[in-house]
Structure 1
Amino acid sequence: MVAAILILLLTAPLPALLALPADVWLLAIAGIGSGLQLVIYNVLQTTTIQQQVPEAFLARATSVTMLGSLVAAPLGMGLAGPAATAFGTRPLLLACAGFALALTAATLLIPAVWRIKPPTATPQRTPEPAHP
């Protein structure tokens, strides 16, 4: 889980570079990093949920995480325009980068994040050959 949280740091460079006069190649690299972050985080989060949550609660846990994702994204997009009008585009982009860093750091301060470990592999028993 720590790796999933740390990968969130790849979201900070893109808004920070958009706020500054950055070259296109830097924006492209930051955009690729941001896209990779999304894919890697989703894989790590889904794997962690499947490994750590008991099967009876798996659907419920997955629905809660999906609800958060499906509500937060459109809400953020809907508020971005009014916030940029109220505060300015550059300050808003810098605030986004700062929030990405601050929220990642705050999440890493939660002890439970560090306690989540991959399950230990149980040795597979080799089937005995059938006797003719």
Structure 2
Amino acid sequence: MILKIILGFILIAFIETLNGIFRIKVLNKSFSKRLSKFISFILGSILIFLINLFYIPILGISSQEEAFFIGFTWALLMILYDVFVGKFMFKMSWENIADDFDILKGNLLSLGIILIVFMPIFVFKYF
């Protein structure tokens, strides 16, 4: 089960990385930075839903508690991934990394992390 959870995280990280590249390379050229982030958040939310719709049955979970554990684990791994990429690949300061999670500054990463936590429960319960 742990290997399947890690593979699910890798899928989420890959898709969300592509979403971020799409936002920077395409959306930012056509829309304001704020609107680009919002569109990217909506697109990312749909992608997270679709990944969960596909992947939750593969995991074979049997309770909402298991679904929460999976979502929490994915969210924790995504936070670590985002921090690692920001700090070590893009050489961002800790302040800029923290800003990426700051909703008050128009950044929606924190909402995306919350979505990752609870989407497995939603899919498990209603699909």
**Shorter-normalised TM range:** 0.3 to 0.5
Larger radius of gyration: 1
Bigger relative contact order (CA 8 A; separation at least 6):
1
Superposition TM-score, scaled by structure 1 size:
0.36
Structure having the larger proportion of residues in helix: 2
